[in-house]
Chain A
Amino acid sequence: MSFTYEEKLSSSAYVDVVWRTEDQTDGTYVASADACWDMVFIKSKDGKSKVLLSGPSSNVTFVPYSTGNKNFGIRFKPGLIFTNILVAGMLNATKALPMPTDDTFVLQGITWNLPTYENIDEFLTRLVKNGLLRFDPVVRDVVENKAVKMSARSIQRHFAMTIGMSPRRVKQIMSARKAVELLLQGIPLAEVSYELGYADLPHMIRMLKRFTGYTPVENKLRGEQI
């Protein structure tokens, strides 16, 4: 393993997980496709900070890492909307946020002090208080498999505006991620394939390769959470 990883839950309803890593070597991390937004705070070994905002991704992305970097980040729940940021420009994109000083950054027109892994919830609370985070209730409920009284067409349009992808694509991505999670728990391939509704094993292999960058067996051998 070329970096250490830990994560914690957040008190914010908008957040899936807060995580932090420390890079042990130089390398490139293959990040799976993801329907969620992320924020990443990086501190390199020379003390320089960087803040990245990353939109949903419909394909595998390659994320470089360098020895000595200390990183933490927020993975938001699917259906989250940054009030003033259109998903259109952020699909498959990661942008470095402007930093007026070494320890401040600009997000949605407001200058923020750099948070830490420990006090990240305060930053999230302030985002919410300023009305800068909200949910698309349709997307949120649909991905949680809750009943939504709406046509497939309207649901598609909600997904297009919130995640920038079709519900079908989002479902494929979520299934692929879920498959890796189950494989890492030691559940046999055939069982995972059946459980998640893949037509057959080759179908699952294709989908995992496409959305996680690795085949099921490679994912098992790699042994890394995605």
Chain B
Amino acid sequence: MNIRPFKITVPQKELKDLQDRIKDTRWPGEIAGEGWKRGMPLDYTKKLADYWLTKFDWRKQEAKLNKFPQFVAEIDGQTIHFLHVRSSDPNAVPLLMCHGYPSSFVDFLHMIDPLVDPAASGSGAGRAFHVVVPSLPGFGFSTPVTGKGWEISRMAKAFDQIMRQLGYERYGVHGGDIGAGICEQLCIQAGERIIGSLVSTDPGAIATEYTPPTDHLNDDEKKRLQQMQAARREDFGYIQIQATRPQTIAYSLTDSPVGQMAWIVEKFKEWTDPARELPEDAVDIDLLLTNVSIYWFGRGGAGAAHFLYESMHAAAAWGQTHNRPQGFVTFGNEPLVRRILDPEHKLAYWNEHDRGGHFPAMEAPEQLVGDIRTFFQGLNSNT
């Protein structure tokens, strides 16, 4: 495997092109008084586009990202970008963190320093970590996807190869959303070499088409779950489109920055802490737009759509189990989450936070760092 150092350097021409396109946006009209009901409202979209154009400073964000050592590896003909920060603590635990949709490796920016160097980050003493954060193939700078079949089990295999190449014989894994699926695949594929898996989740996880078994719930709980599912019924159109006709939606997402922005930010509105009015109240606006910009520059809209297509057309890897220690941390106050995901309280670790949502690494990074430290503290990381 060939691993090369990598720096993000978006050409000036592309930056100018992005700005021109935002300026030249051909705006749709809007049916008045509908708020977010039919999607991202016009006034908010215009406001956010204006911020992106006039106040958001890509070069500043780019420089921030480039403070972290980054690399690209070639695996199976696919370029895989990752960030790798080694701790100076000789007892540090190697940790692979995988992002989900619609986010990217920038999710974890505010967690890296406290994880790598707990003392210097002012968060007190604690276990230190060597941190590896890949861009999933199709996302971030692991683009474009060059062939078929990049679903989670293949991604897991590639990430495991990277970890071994970096000299990490045993390591911990963390992720949410798609990242949680990759963590599970790693536990299955890499077995004993995975120290443990800490997954973040939110109430949305139990309101999808495939909810874990619910026969043990009482009538009140069943009713509550039905209400939750009804409330989210219209959240999933994005999956249907991307999982069936990724190529068609790719033209719009690759050609219109405002289109790509709205496609992503709508989900931040729906999936972040419901107590926060706007996406930018839940997630720092510059971080949010850095994520959107990375989708734009890397043509990640197309990559993410193809990823969902692969996921929905991949065979279920069934009959496979693992015995690795698993922990869950849920963001958003909802007792049904544990009742459904861990009814017998058998998981190695469970924690709940009132605030936060689907993007805890950006919404509540301090809490998540705390959970990672506590979870891995209790596990044997000897090689």
Contact = CB atoms under 8 A, between A and B. Distances in A.
A221 interface: no
A167 B181 contact: no
Contact of B326 (A137, A153, A157): A153
A172 B321 CA distance: 13
A168 B315 contact: no
A152 interface: yes
A166 B312 contact: no
Among A147, A150, A154, A166: residue with most chain B CB under 10 A: A147
Contacts of A172: 319
Interface string A187-198: 000000000000
Contacts of B209: 149
A146 interface: yes
Contact of A154 (B212, B311, B319, B320): B212
A137 B322 CA distance: 23
Among A145, A152, A170: residue with most chain B CB under 10 A: A152
Interface residues of B, number: 23
Given A151-B180, A152-B184, A168 B320 contact: yes
Contacts, number: 62
A149 B181 contact: yes
Contacts of B181: 149, 151
A138 interface: yes
B315 A152 contact: no
Contact of A158 (B213, B313, B319, B320): B213
Contacts of B315: 145-147
A85 to B, nearest CB: 13
Contacts of B321: 152, 156, 166-168
A170 B320 CA distance: 11
A137 B181 CA distance: 20
Contact of A137 (B210, B312, B314): B210
B184 A149 contact: no
Contacts of B210: 137-138, 148-150, 154
A57 B322 CA distance: 24
A168 B212 contact: no
Among B210, B212, B312, B313: residue with most chain A CB under 10 A: B210
B151 to A, nearest CB: 8
